[in-house]
Structures are given as structure tokens and as C-alpha cells.
């Protein structure tokens, strides 16, 4: 019988979604003896999972509950197949992306600050912020208090499972979408990443939603910030390492761009890190996937993959095939 190890902290009721004909082995946070399993469902937090891994024997398949699996190949080596939980984070991460974009275009960070100060008259700061960010010196009456998303040009870097859902959720805003992925395609048109630099200057908003890999590490650096429009918004909901943090800090401090980050490099962001003090920046502490619906969705994805594995059918979400 196939032995499937899973984090004991998960609600046991959720494990009823798993197919019949397997033996479920709950794995505590620390193991003081070797445990034989065939399939490992690691804890979503890599630090906890890595504490367990050295005691596991016989693992042939890893079913991650997360979309991002960047720590797993180095830990388990090349002889293990790794699947991610493609699809499980889509709704919460896509909704967060829209929230971050709208928050930045409606100056929510400024208005939260004004609310805390209890000083209504400070709302005049919004038009200064607009002028500073965009360089637009035109006189508006009444003065600008927010900006509009509708009609903007949005560059989505990574047009996979989540990128497509972000596009779907942006559709009601009648934005112009430009897509980038590893491989070019048509219908809809997706540009190859080799064209990224030429697309950046035309974008009002750039969304990063691609995996952190050897190729994507540091993809967004000084040259890419240089190409960005004055006042353009960078949204990183992918992984912190896709962006070169020093270059991001410089671009923000120069007043050229604005940014919203759910992910940073490093994570957790140390209390004295310069990013915390950058202007025109909204940070959420890597929350994109963590809604109450997440556990059931990710277990359902793993259960479906396991069903296919038992039947010998091709797996859906392989990010590393065993060699
Ligand atoms: N903020 C959060 O809490 C949170 C939550 C969930 C996921 N994430 C991150 O989001 C990532 C994407 O998730 P997903 O489920 O959408 O993955 P996915 O379905 O595998 O799609 C990934 C997309 O990125 C593209 N891509 C890969 N490497 C690239 C590169 N070097 N340059 C340009 N594009 C590249 C792929 O191109 P092709 O289509 O050509 O293969 C694909 O379009 C995850 O890996 C994870 O790191 C973050």
C-alpha cells in the first residue's frame, strides 16, 4: 500500500479528500526516527518541512501544497518527482494583485496615514503626490485625489495559472493587457521574455507572477527600472528574488516609480531594512496564498495528483520529473 506522509498539523478531515488505497502517515514537526514513505506532502512552510526531510526514507514523489517550489529540488535531489499545487492559490493571489493595484492608484497608504493623524485637511497631499509621481504639472480643478485604473496598459510577466486569472479579473477595467512568458504564443499573444526590456517603457503597471528559477532570479534589475515610465507601478506577487532589491530601493528613492510587493528578498524583511522606509511603496508580508479556502483547495489538488499517480496516469503539475 502506498504510504503518504503529510504534516500532522493539517485538519484530519481534509485528508478525507485523499483517494482510497493509501496509508496516511501524519508527520510531526520533528521526527526522532527514520520514517518510510513513498509520497511526501511537505509542510507549506519550508523551514518546518526541511526539519522533517532528513528523517524521511523512500520518497519518490513530493506533492507540494504551494505553487512556488523553489526550495524543494535542492533538498530532495533529482531522483524524486515534484509536483506543485497549481491552481490552489489563483483566486487569493489574483484578488490581492487587484487590491494592491487599486490601493496604489487610489492612494490608500496616504489615506490610511491621514486617517491615523485625524487631519482631514491633509487630503491636499494627494495632488502633490500625483504631481511628484507622474510629473504631470497640469492644473486640475478640483485637484487630483486619486487615479484611475481603467484604460491603463498592464504588462503581466508570467502568463501561467495565476497570471491568467489576474488577466480575467482585470478585464472589467478595460485595461490593455500585454503578456510575457518563457515561450511566445498566439491567441492570445504572449511575448517571449527576451522582449521584456522593449515592452517595459510602454507599461503603466507591471505585474510579476512567475516562478523563481535560475533564469528568473534577478530578472528585474537596474536596466529594467531604467526603462520604466515615470510613475509606473511595479507589483511583485511572485517571489522577492525575481527583483534585485538594491535596484528596487534605488528606483523608489529616486522617485521614478511606485511599487507594491507581497514578496521581498530577503524574507522576512528585517526591521531595519531600507525597503521599509522607501516612498511610494506598499508592502504586504507574503500573504497572497493564505485565505481560509487555501487548505481545502491545495489538498484537493494533491489528492487529484495522487489519484493519477495510483492509476499510472500522467501527472498534471510536474515541476521536476525524477531522473
Ligand atoms: N504571493 C504569493 O503568495 C504567491 C502565491 C502563489 C504563487 N506565487 C508565485 O507565483 C508563481 C507563478 O505561479 P503559477 O501558478 O501561475 O505558475 P505557472 O502556472 O507555472 O505559470 C508560470 C508562468 O511563468 C512563466 N515563466 C517561467 N519562467 C519564466 C521566466 N524566466 N521568464 C518569464 N516567464 C517565465 C511561465 O512561462 P511559460 O508559460 O512559457 O512556461 C508561465 O507562464 C509561483 O511559482 C510562485 O512563486 C506567489
Distance 157 CA to ligand 1 centre (A): 8
For a substitution probing ligand 1, which of 100, 185, 199, 211 has the most ligand atoms within 8 Å of its CB?
Answer: 211
**Is residue 261's pLDDT more than 90?**
yes
Which residues have a catalytic role annotated?
Answer: 239, 267, 286
Backbone angles phi, psi at 227, to 5 degrees: -75, -15
Can you tell me which atom of ligand 1 is nearest the CA of 215?
31
Can you tell me which atom of ligand 1 is nearest the CA of 237?
1
**Cα gap 24→41, rounded to integer Å:** 10
Q: What is the mean pLDDT of the chain?
A: 97
Q: What DSSP string runs through 126-168?
A: HHHHHHHHH------SSPP-----TT-EEEEE--SHHHHHHHH
CB burial of residue 116 (10 Å; 0-12, 13-18, 19+) = exposed
Looking at ligand 1, which residue's alpha carbon is closest to its atom 42?
A: 160
Distance 270 CA to ligand 1 centre (A): 26
Cell representation of residue 274? 531600507
- Tens of pLDDT along 83-124? 999 999 999 999 999 999 999 999 999 999 999 999 999 999
Residue keyed to cell 512556488 = 68
Which pLDDT value is given to residue 12?
Answer: 86
- Tens of pLDDT along 184-195? 999 999 999 999
User: In terms of DSSP bridges, do strands 61-63 and 39-40 run parallel, antiparallel, or are they unpaired?
Assistant: parallel
Distance 143 CA to ligand 1 centre (A): 40
Distance 86 CA to ligand 1 centre (A): 10
Classified as helix, coil or strand, 64 is coil
- Tens of pLDDT along 38-48? 999 999 999 99
Which pLDDT value is given to residue 263?
Answer: 98
pTM, 2 dp: 0.94
For a substitution probing ligand 1, which of 210, 261, 268 has the most ligand atoms within 8 Å of its CB?
Answer: 210
Q: Per-residue confidence at 308, pLDDT binned at 50, 70, 90?
A: very high
Distance 158 CA to ligand 1 centre (A): 5
Contact 210, 162 (CB under 8 A): no
The strand ranges marked E within 111-264 are 153-157, 176-181, 190-192, 205-208, 233-236, 258-261
Q: If you average pLDDT over residues 171-195, what whole number do you get?
A: 98
Q: Ligand 1 site: residues with CB under 6 angstroms?
A: 67-68, 86, 89, 93, 157-163, 180-183, 193, 209-213, 215-216, 237-239, 262-263, 286, 288-289
Q: How many residues does the chain have?
A: 323
**Is residue 304's pLDDT more than 90?**
yes
Q: If you average pLDDT over residues 253-267, what whole number do you get?
A: 98
Looking at ligand 1, which residue's alpha carbon is closest to its atom 21?
A: 160
**Cα gap 129→111, rounded to integer Å:** 12
Question: E strand or H helix at 109, and its extent?
Answer: helix 108-117
**Cα gap 294→108, rounded to integer Å:** 27
Q: If you average pLDDT over residues 154-183, what whole number do you get?
A: 98
Amino acid at each position: 500500500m502506498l504510504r503518504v506522509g503529510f504534516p500532522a498539523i493539517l485538519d484530519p478531515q481534509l485528508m478525507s479528500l485523499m483517494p482510497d488505497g493509501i496509508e496516511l502517515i501524519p508527520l510531526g514537526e520533528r521526527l526522532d526516527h527514520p520514517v518510510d514513505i513513498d509520497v511526501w506532502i511537505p509542510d507549506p512552510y519550508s523551514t518546518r518541512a526541511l526539519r522533517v526531510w532528513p528523517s524521511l526514507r523512500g520518497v519518490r514523489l513530493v506533492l507540494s501544497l504551494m505553487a512556488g517550489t523553489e526550495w524543494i529540488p535542492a533538498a530532495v535531489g533529482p531522483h524524486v518527482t515534484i509536483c506543485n499545487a497549481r491552481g490552489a492559490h489563483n483566486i487569493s493571489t489574483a484578488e490581492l494583485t487587484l487590491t494592491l493595484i487599486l490601493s496604489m492608484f487610489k492612494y490608500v497608504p496616504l489615506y490610511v496615514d491621514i486617517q491615523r493623524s485625524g487631519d482631514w485637511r491633509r487630503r491636499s497631499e494627494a495632488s502633490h503626490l500625483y504631481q511628484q509621481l507622474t510629473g504631470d504639472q497640469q492644473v486640475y480643478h478640483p485637484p487630483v485625489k486619486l487615479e484611475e485604473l481603467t484604460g491603463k496598459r498592464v504588462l503581466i510577466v508570467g502568463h501561467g495559472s495565476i497570471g491568467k486569472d489576474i488577466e480575467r479579473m482585470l478585464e472589467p477595467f478595460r485595461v490593455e493587457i500585454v503578456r510575457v512568458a518563457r515561450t511566445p504564443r498566439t491567441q492570445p499573444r504572449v511575448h517571449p521574455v527576451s522582449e521584456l526590456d522593449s515592452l517595459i517603457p510602454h507599461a503603466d503597471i507591471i505585474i510579476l507572477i512567475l516562478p523563481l528559477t535560475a533564469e528568473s532570479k534577478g530578472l528585474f534589475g537596474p536596466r529594467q527600472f531604467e526603462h520604466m515610465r515615470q510613475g509606473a507601478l511595479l507589483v511583485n506577487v511572485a517571489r522577492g528574488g525575481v527583483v534585485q532589491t538594491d535596484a528596487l530601493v534605488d528606483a523608489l528613492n529616486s522617485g521614478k516609480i511606485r511599487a507594491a510587493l507581497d514578496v521581498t528578498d530577503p524574507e522576512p524583511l528585517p526591521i531595519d531594512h531600507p525597503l521599509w522606509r522607501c516612498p511610494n511603496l506598499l508592502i504586504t508580508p507574503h500573504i497572497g496564498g493564505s485565505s481560509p479556502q487555501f487548505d481545502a483547495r491545495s489538498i484537493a489538488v494533491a489528492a487529484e495528483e495522487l489519484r493519477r499517480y495510483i492509476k499510472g496516469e500522467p501527472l498534471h503539475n510536474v515541476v521536476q520529473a525524477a531522473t
